[in-house]
Chains A and B, each alone.
Chain A
């Protein structure tokens, strides 16, 4: 793997998603871990979804207000804004996003708060990828 491959990949990840295609579902993956975003983006792209990523809460919030995503997969603990705070702000400002919370925070309060705020699902880290993908497919069908 040469440096050219690295450079092309970096520029690829910086590219904005193109105009929405009619049949392609669009998913935003927000997590401060590049490993998580890469894994999920790769898995989602292999299933034919268009994926964008955010590496902190503020970026997730800003991308979410465009309303162009069919589903958001959001980490709870992110710099800038917590996942729950992002959902809360979207709700207060009237932006509707379907969110699957993904978190290593394992306390019941976070799970309940997420669902109360309107998250459609909560998945704990470490996660089983096929199970998470099944949940995503199901939510996107709905």
Chain B
């Protein structure tokens, strides 16, 4: 055979293989599309029958056989579970129990593989929110797959299974940050029911090797915002040697608020670490008690720019704070005036002063502020 013939045969072979692959691909796509259409139609049928059962509790229309194995039935149940509330949830839960749907998903979750099917089972159990699935969801909080652990925690949060709070917290110190963050979301969903387990977790683990878990737990407490934890957080702030823990605690105290939060924050506002001082200024502003204005005014003279900036920002939103900022502009201090002027510009006070000046209604404070800003603009950069 000459080279031309060999070349032609090679081209023909490649062409033939391409045709086979293309045909296979098109067929697969068609099969997949058909399966999706059938699935959607079956799902719609199930939604109709389930709707009859929900609309009339004593409805007797049958669902068919082996529905627990039918993913279309599962999807229909989850769809309806997400749009109804109250007694319909109980009604749906009864249907889930009678059909064996939850048990089927639990068995899939317990199987060793494939991962996709196990993950879908975990998501389905989380979506169905059936109380009877709580033991299996708790069991899989330490599953080898992180996404399955997350879904199990989510499911437990969805059914508000409070005895799952401790097992979720037990995983806190060991989890990767992204998993821990999702666990934290679940705990926030428990609201004040999670407060005391979180406090206990922090007390036991503070100062040990699980500071990342403690930090996340403090953040969760801050997000829940239960004022009862003020004294606990104040205690944490007193003994925390890790600045990350202290910063998370300061943030949480700012959200939790209340008079019990002010005292420890005043203390950290004078801490040698500038990060703690800057955070404390913001937290004090969040609490919004004008009695701390004189303390924040001290922060305008701080050696650190962030502390001055946050203190000025805090004063700009607190009642009576603007007067202190204007006083700082007139002060002899080298830094306070800059921070104060910047905060007044950010809060809109500078624009308001300009407007009053143009209208001939400027007061002493307006003239001080405008004079300072004009002088700064005249300084060559």
Which residues in A have some Cβ–Cβ distance to B below 8 Å?
A: 1, 3, 5-6, 9-10, 33-36, 38-39, 41-43, 46, 125-131
CA distance A76 to B88 in the complex (A): 23
- B55, B83, B85, B86: the one contacting A42 at CB < 8 Å is B55
| Shortest beta-carbon distance from A129 to chain B in Å | 5
A-B interface, 5 closest residue pairs, ranked by CB to CB distance from nearest: A128-B86, A43-B55, A42-B51, A35-B79, A126-B85
Closest-by-CB residue of B relative to A104 is B83
Contact residues in B for A9 (Cβ distance below 8 Å): 44-45, 48
Contact residues in B for A43 (Cβ distance below 8 Å): 51, 54-55
| Shortest beta-carbon distance from B262 to chain A in Å | 31
B86 near A46 (CB under 8 angstroms)? no
User: Would you list which residues of chain B between 88 and 132 have a CB under 8 Å from chain A?
Assistant: 88
B54 near A39 (CB under 8 angstroms)? yes
User: Would you list which residues of chain B between 47 and 106 have a CB under 8 Å from chain A?
Assistant: 47-48, 51-52, 54-56, 64, 76, 79-80, 82-88
Contact residues in B for A38 (Cβ distance below 8 Å): 44, 47-48, 51
Contact residues in B for A41 (Cβ distance below 8 Å): 51
| Shortest beta-carbon distance from A115 to chain B in Å | 22
Which residues in B have some Cβ–Cβ distance to A below 8 Å?
A: 41-42, 44-45, 47-48, 51-52, 54-56, 64, 76, 79-80, 82-88
A9, A41, A127, A129: residue with the most chain B Cβ atoms closer than 10 Å: A129
A128 near B87 (CB under 8 angstroms)? yes
Contact residues in A for B82 (Cβ distance below 8 Å): 126
| Shortest beta-carbon distance from A64 to chain B in Å | 23
| Shortest beta-carbon distance from B279 to chain A in Å | 31
25 inter-chain pairs at a CB distance below 8 angstroms, sorted by A residue, are A1-B45, A1-B64, A6-B41, A34-B44, A35-B76, A35-B79, A36-B83, A38-B51, A39-B54, A39-B55, A39-B80, A39-B84, A41-B51, A42-B48, A43-B55, A46-B52, A126-B85, A127-B83, A127-B85, A128-B86, A128-B87, A129-B54, A129-B86, A129-B88, A131-B86
Contact residues in B for A5 (Cβ distance below 8 Å): 45
| Shortest beta-carbon distance from A40 to chain B in Å | 8
Known contacts A6-B42, A36-B83, A126-B84, then 19 further A-B pairs from the complex at CB < 8 Å, ordered by chain A residue: A5-B45, A9-B48, A33-B79, A35-B79, A38-B47, A38-B48, A38-B51, A39-B54, A39-B84, A42-B48, A42-B55, A43-B51, A43-B55, A46-B55, A127-B85, A128-B85, A128-B86, A129-B54, A130-B87
A6 near B45 (CB under 8 angstroms)? yes
Contact residues in A for B88 (Cβ distance below 8 Å): 128-129
The answer to whether A42 and B41 touch (CB under 8 A), given A34-B47, A127-B83, A128-B85, is no
B83 near A33 (CB under 8 angstroms)? yes
B83 near A35 (CB under 8 angstroms)? yes
A46 near B56 (CB under 8 angstroms)? yes
| Shortest beta-carbon distance from B286 to chain A in Å | 23
The answer to whether A129 and B48 touch (CB under 8 A), given A6-B41, A39-B55, A43-B55, is no
CA distance A36 to B50 in the complex (A): 12
| Shortest beta-carbon distance from B244 to chain A in Å | 35
B56 near A35 (CB under 8 angstroms)? no
| Shortest beta-carbon distance from B157 to chain A in Å | 16
CA distance A6 to B37 in the complex (A): 11
| Shortest beta-carbon distance from B237 to chain A in Å | 35
CA distance A10 to B41 in the complex (A): 9
Contact residues in B for A1 (Cβ distance below 8 Å): 42, 45, 64
CA distance A5 to B54 in the complex (A): 21
CA distance A128 to B56 in the complex (A): 13
| Shortest beta-carbon distance from A53 to chain B in Å | 13
CA distance A38 to B64 in the complex (A): 19
B44 near A39 (CB under 8 angstroms)? no
B87 near A42 (CB under 8 angstroms)? no
Contact residues in A for B52 (Cβ distance below 8 Å): 42, 46
- B45, B51, B87: the one contacting A39 at CB < 8 Å is B51
CA distance A38 to B42 in the complex (A): 14
| Shortest beta-carbon distance from B99 to chain A in Å | 14
B83 near A125 (CB under 8 angstroms)? yes
| Shortest beta-carbon distance from A26 to chain B in Å | 18
Closest-by-CB residue of A relative to B79 is A35
CA distance A42 to B45 in the complex (A): 12
Contact residues in A for B55 (Cβ distance below 8 Å): 39, 42-43, 46, 129
B42, B47, B51, B86: residue with the most chain A Cβ atoms closer than 10 Å: B51
CA distance A125 to B41 in the complex (A): 25
CA distance A129 to B51 in the complex (A): 10
Contact residues in A for B47 (Cβ distance below 8 Å): 34-35, 38-39
Closest-by-CB residue of A relative to B85 is A126
